[in-house]
Amino acid sequence: MSPEGARAGAPSVSFTMHGIGVSGGIAIGHAHLFAGMGAEVDHYQISGADVVREQRRYDRAVKEVRAELLELGESVRHSAASELAPFVKVHLMLLEDGAFAEAPREIIREQHCNAEWALRSQLDLLMAQFSDIEDPYLRAREDDVRQVAERILGALAGTQRRIATKPVLADAAILVARDLSPADVILFREHPFAGFITDLGGATSHTAIVARSMNIPAIVALHHARTLIHEDELIIVDGTQGVVIVNPDRSVLAEYRLKQNETRLERDKLKRLRSAAAATLDGTPVQLWANIELPSDLEPVKASGASGIGLFRSEFLFMNRRDLPDEDEQYHAYREVVEGMRGLPVTIRTMDIGADKNVDGQEHVTVNPALGLRAIRYCLAEPQIFNTQLRAILRASRHGKVLILIPMLTTWHELTLALAAVEQAKDQLRRQGIKFDEHVPVGGMIEVPAAAIALPMFIRRLDFLSIGTNDLIQYTLAIDRSDDKVAHLYDPLHPAVLNLIAGVIRTAQQHEKPVAVCGEMAGDVELTRMLLGFGLRHFSMHPAHLLGVKQRVLTTSLPDIAPIVARILKTDEPEKMQALIEKLNA
């Protein structure tokens, strides 16, 4: 018997696939295939007389894609999805590259073939030779190259806006794609997808991060989903387990519907915790703060009941635009957040530009951007930009409770210069008679192993610390956090990582300095008790995770978990580590 809702008349073979679950929860719905270069491409010969016409057809497709990307870039500027605009821009730049603008035209001329085939041949060539490409910018952007080719192919087929033009998608559609570019993901906001699955991608890919912030189940790295799953087939996406079940039978479907309801009920129940004070069973208070990118993120922060903002990633104000925000514009943005939080603390991180977050014109200056002129290094190299930001933050400080957070501190000298820059900005404001909070605390992000190891060097001169586990893991394990090919090696439970985190918390306590964790680990409910056991009392995370973490805090007894956490810090075998984490959460 065919499962409920499966395609009428089609043989419905049931099978299961495993990938990396990047956003938890269960989605049940019908597959909507997102066609890309993985699909078959027609190949036919054209006459010599038709070469120019075919080249023009290709040029038109490129032009169409350019217009669409420009439109997308504009539509996300200053919107909640504005962090995606830089990637749209990368695609625009690739589109102008000779590899796309010229090479397929040449193939059409030489081989007298259709434009699709020329593009496909060029893409195959690029993919095969990717590791040999001299240009480090192109080499680092294999996925982007494929996504741009897919867009051009779509334009050639006259179906560029596959998702956007599909009349009305069923509420429960699940997007099945080989890969999704950030530009594709933008369209999610217009269509209520229940979830998505892709063949490529890693847990830290931008697509994954967006899925998590949208709270929809998602699985990546499935490898063959796009070829094995057919349009409209019924699928279950278990984002927590990383499992996809295609054409489930009735009993499996019923089981998952039950689980789905339980998850919904669980989420609704969590909402009741919004105003409950966060404290462990033995009465130890815990601060749960939120991370934001833009002032427009305040609404979910309020709904989560966060008692402050632990990380305002201010660099997002500087992205997706040709000019820099001046002091007044920044002041108004910071003030909006500070006033919106009504006296609760707001930690504004000075701009963390560099690595994968760039201001215009700065995109491909170095081979290893994560190790380059990033964060405080960039600010110290651009003192005027830094000064403008510090003045704006200080001005906003008189409207509430502001804390300044310096990212990526590594050396004594950097901290000296950063503190001097804060003092200089204060002096200027004083001389101009502009009011600000004279006692605004200045803290440092501990996200480079050197800073974690040589912590006493920084701690004496800072008012507070915030551990950026995303980068601390990247730099400790030498794993590029945005490279999906090494995503499986990105391990928050590596003993080196855990000992660094526990050590930073211990040293901060000895020096009586507040310490928070503001990386993704702070929002991972499976790690809440471990971090509490390390002595952490201050978590900052995406608002969507806050109530789940609060629930875990409320059900934790610090004396009970202490012996297990002590064993975790002594364990070096991954299986034993996993067993201890499970025991901790039992």
Least Å distance, CB 471 to Mg ion, is: 4
Pick from 20, 278, 518, 565: which binds ligand PEP (CB under 6 A)?
518
How many residues are given for the chain? 586
Evaluate whether 446 touches 465 at the Cβ level (below 8 Å): yes
**Does the annotation count 112 as an active-site position?**
no
Nearer CB in complex with ligand PEP: 297/447:
447
Least Å distance, CB 377 to ligand PEP, is: 14
Evaluate whether 203 touches 22 at the Cβ level (below 8 Å): yes
Least Å distance, CB 311 to Mg ion, is: 9
d(CA 295, CA 285): 28
Evaluate whether 153 touches 119 at the Cβ level (below 8 Å): yes
Residues ≥6 apart with Cβ < 8 Å to 344: 306, 307, 308, 309, 400, 401
Point out which span in 15-23, 160-168, 464-472, 567-575 binds ligand PEP (CB under 6 A). Answer: 464-472
Site membership for ligand PEP, residue 469 (CB under 6 A): yes
DSSP 8-state code for residue 381? H
Evaluate whether 197 touches 220 at the Cβ level (below 8 Å): yes
| The entry of Mg ion, ligand PEP, none that residue 181 binds, CB within 5 to 8 Å by partner kind | none
| The entry of ligand PEP, Mg ion, none that residue 518 binds, CB within 5 to 8 Å by partner kind | ligand PEP
End-to-end CA distance of the chain: 39
Point out which span in 230-238, 466-474, 487-495, 541-549 binds ligand PEP (CB under 6 A). Answer: 466-474
Helix segments in 27-160, DSSP class H? 51-76, 85-96, 98-101, 103-111, 115-128, 136-139, 142-156
d(CA 309, CA 400): 12
Nearer CB in complex with Mg ion: 236/472:
472
CA distances from 222 to 149, 176, 225, 489 (A): 21, 10, 6, 17
| Closest CA relative to residue 4, chosen from 40, 24, 30, 38 | 30
Nearer CB in complex with ligand PEP: 306/311:
311
Residues ≥6 apart with Cβ < 8 Å to 95: 62, 65, 66, 69, 101, 148, 152
| The entry of ligand PEP, Mg ion, none that residue 469 binds, CB within 5 to 8 Å by partner kind | ligand PEP
Pick from 83, 184, 293, 471: which binds Mg ion (CB under 5 A)?
471
If you write DSSP's letter for every residue of 192-214 in order, what string do you get?
--SEEEESS--TTSHHHHHHHHH
| The entry of ligand PEP, Mg ion, none that residue 313 binds, CB within 5 to 8 Å by partner kind | ligand PEP
Residue 379 corresponds to which tokens in the numbers above? 């600010």
Q: Which amino acid is at 236?
A: I
CB atoms within 10 A of CB 579: 13
Q: Max alpha carbon distance in the chain (Å)? A: 83
Q: Which amino acid is at 141?
A: R
Nearer CB in complex with ligand PEP: 83/233:
83
Opening angle at CA 255, ends 228 and 555, nearest 5: 115
Site membership for ligand PEP, residue 347 (CB under 6 A): no
Return the HEC string of 358-372: CCCCCCCCCCCHHHC
Pick from 150, 233, 352, 484: which binds ligand PEP (CB under 6 A)?
352
Point out which span in 301-309, 448-456, 465-473, 504-512 binds Mg ion (CB under 5 A). Answer: 465-473
Q: Which of 206, 538, 542, 545 is catalytic?
A: 206
Point out which span in 178-186, 235-243, 353-361, 466-474 binds Mg ion (CB under 5 A). Answer: 466-474
Q: Which of 91, 399, 494, 518 is catalytic?
A: 518
Nearer CB in complex with ligand PEP: 254/371:
371
| The entry of ligand PEP, Mg ion, none that residue 492 binds, CB within 5 to 8 Å by partner kind | none
Evaluate whether 552 touches 288 at the Cβ level (below 8 Å): no
| The entry of ligand PEP, Mg ion, none that residue 242 binds, CB within 5 to 8 Å by partner kind | none
Evaluate whether 182 touches 87 at the Cβ level (below 8 Å): yes
Site membership for ligand PEP, residue 313 (CB under 6 A): yes
Site membership for ligand PEP, residue 68 (CB under 6 A): no
- Which phi and psi (to 5°) does residue 39 adopt? -75, 160
Least Å distance, CB 331 to ligand PEP, is: 22
Evaluate whether 320 touches 82 at the Cβ level (below 8 Å): yes
Least Å distance, CB 202 to Mg ion, is: 17
**Does the annotation count 379 as an active-site position?**
no
Site membership for ligand PEP, residue 471 (CB under 6 A): yes
| The entry of Mg ion, ligand PEP, none that residue 483 binds, CB within 5 to 8 Å by partner kind | none
Pick from 86, 444, 468, 492: which binds Mg ion (CB under 5 A)?
468
d(CA 266, CA 272): 10
Question: Would you call 50 helix, strand, or coil by DSSP?
Answer: helix
Least Å distance, CB 518 to ligand PEP, is: 5
Point out which span in 120-128, 328-336, 462-470, 493-501 binds Mg ion (CB under 5 A). Answer: 462-470
Site membership for ligand PEP, residue 294 (CB under 6 A): no
| The entry of ligand PEP, Mg ion, none that residue 297 binds, CB within 5 to 8 Å by partner kind | none
Site membership for Mg ion, residue 520 (CB under 5 A): no
Binding site for Mg ion (CB under 5 A): 447, 468, 471
Binding site for ligand PEP (CB under 6 A): 311, 313, 352, 447, 468-471, 518-519
Active site residues: 206, 518
